[in-house]
Amino acid sequence: MEEGLALVVERKGKKRKRKKMREDRGRPFCQDPLDVLGRDLMLRVLNNLDARSLALCLVVSRTWNRVASSDLLWTSKCEELWCGKAHIPRLSLVRGISKLDAYSLSVMDGKRNRIMRDDLCDHVWEFHFTKAAPEYWRNLDPYWKGNGPPMHRYFHPDGSQTADPGDKVWGGHESCYSIVTSIIGEGKIREHYVRINRWRPLAVSRKQDWSWEMTNNLFCYSSIPDAYKEGGTGPLFLVM
């Protein structure tokens, strides 16, 4: 009796298998590419994707996430992102951070328009007068006269500001700066500017290459690119 029962079960199993084969006939056989290719080949395939497409692979499955988050992939993506940028954020170069995190933090910091003391102090700034400034000042400015290197300004952690020796515009006077930020509900910034002495406030803006510009109707400050500065620049923690 047991032999007869086993024979019936075996026949039913073969029947189900034949039925499934008939149902699957004409349809593509689906299998996870990661299982077929293996990790090393899959890394080569994923390396050809852009950063956005690679990021989508992170949510396919836990196994895909482990492969798609590899530093082997995101190192090159970081290099592509940083190429041509004026400044590389300090928080993306912290020792021990994954390249995926470095990429994400760089993108978020690159969208930041709120300038911090670290940003001011980490960069050398090119200074020039605007066209609306008095002619007397423009005549002293190499930017307009083309008779020498541009003027530079330096911000220091103690709140002071200095210039290059021999700067005709600077004149050796004392100078201090402050950053003014007013925030309304839900962290939304209502007003944000930099003020030097009691002069007119400087509106802050960020360019596509992540460089900074501060301007009013009389003069302009532009951060000088320093993408290769060791350790990066700007605040160590993400600022929105």
Give the model's pLDDT for residue 42: 84
Stretch 17-45: mean pLDDT, rounded? Answer: 67
Q: What are phi and psi of 40, to 5 degrees?
A: -65, -45
The token duo for 24 is: 């699957």
Q: Indicate the domain borders of the chain.
A: 20-69, 87-240
CA distance 57 to 107: 18
Q: Report yes or no: 139 and 129 within 8 Å, Cβ to Cβ.
A: no
Give the model's pLDDT for residue 220: 98
Q: Report yes or no: 85 and 109 within 8 Å, Cβ to Cβ.
A: no
Give the model's pLDDT for residue 203: 97
Q: Is the predicted pLDDT of residue 75 greater than 50, yes or no?
A: yes
Give the model's pLDDT for residue 171: 77
* Span 216-231, pLDDT tens digits: 999 999 999 999 999 9
**Segment 70-79 long-range contacts (CB within 8 Å, at least 24 positions apart):** 70/43, 71/98, 71/99, 71/100, 72/43, 72/47, 73/43, 73/46, 73/47, 73/99, 74/98, 74/99, 74/100, 74/102, 74/103, 75/99, 76/47, 77/51, 77/103, 78/102, 78/103, 78/106
CATH architecture of 20-69: Up-down Bundle (1.20)
Give the model's pLDDT for residue 19: 54
Give the model's pLDDT for residue 240: 77
CA distance 85 to 91: 15
The gap between the terminal CA atoms of the chain, to the nearest Å, is 76
* Span 129-182, pLDDT tens digits: 999 999 999 999 999 999 899 999 999 999 999 999 989 898 778 899 999 999
Residue 36 pLDDT level (bands cut at 50, 70, 90): confident
